[in-house]
Amino acid sequence: MKAVILAAGVNRRLRALAKEIPKCLLKIGNITIIDYQISILSSVGNFKFQDIFIIGGYKIEKLDYLKSFGVNIVYNPKFEVFNNIYSFYLIKNFISEDFILFNGDTVADRRILEFLLMSNNKTIFAVDNVKKLGWEEMKVLVKDNKILKFGKELNPNTAQGEYIGWAKFGWKDATVIFNYIDKLLTEGKTGIWYENAINYVLDEICAFPIYTNGLPWIEIDTPEDYEEAKKLQDKLLYTY
């Protein structure tokens, strides 16, 4: 199994804090987001550094220090014009087995990674089933313990939770997704999230939720998120 961290995007809402660095190099406590993610992949998942792939774009040269440890840095040349669908699509070029996926702006309790790894299901998504939902979140609709749809447009009152940006993909399912993304890109649909692309093939794959049940996590999109992450650091980073 491999691990992939998507960290290519330009986040204009955080430009004041991360103008000269990719967002994943923001510090929570004494550790950057990316170093925390790598540390738990290594300690919880026993991933070797050479089995970890970071897909970067904005200020990617700032991640070069990780190469000395054996971590793979992959450049997304379309990071400024495509949404994260293209970073996800690039995975097919260097992986051909099951993989863990982290969005590079999410810090979460290490036990959520344990849940993903321990599950017998091939393709599973970590879902916060406790948080009060709004219209900004990437929500999920679940029935009979299978994910029926992802979307920010889903009604917060009927969705079962928020996808936190951590997942595990079986290679067979991932191949189905890559093939459909290829079709979407050919049609010029480049401004969507990879979760939206997955929606098109949910009848061909089995995508399951695994619930966080109140364990702490945060996606850092705004200065307010960053301040909240620092407040939560003792819970988020209780050990790594």
pLDDT tens string 79-124: 999 999 999 999 999 999 999 999 999 999 999 999 999 999 999 9
Closest to 71 in 3D by CA, of 55, 53, 96, 94 = 53
Share of the chain above pLDDT 70, in %: 98
- Say whether 67 sits in a helix, a strand or coil: helix
- Say whether 79 sits in a helix, a strand or coil: coil
Q: What's residue 151's pLDDT?
A: 94
Residue ranges in 84-170 assigned as alpha helix (H): 85-90, 110-118
pTM equals 0.96
Q: What is the pLDDT of residues 43-86, one digit of tens each?
A: 999 999 999 999 999 999 999 999 999 999 999 999 999 999 99
Residue 204 neighbours by CB distance under 10 Å:
11
238: burial class by Cβ within 10 Å (0-12, 13-18, 19+)? exposed
Q: Which domains does the chain have, with CATH numbers?
A: 2-236 (3.90.550.10)
Q: What is the pLDDT of residues 167-179, one digit of tens each?
A: 999 999 999 999 9
Residue 223 neighbours by CB distance under 10 Å:
13
Query: Is 128's pLDDT higher than 70?
Result: yes
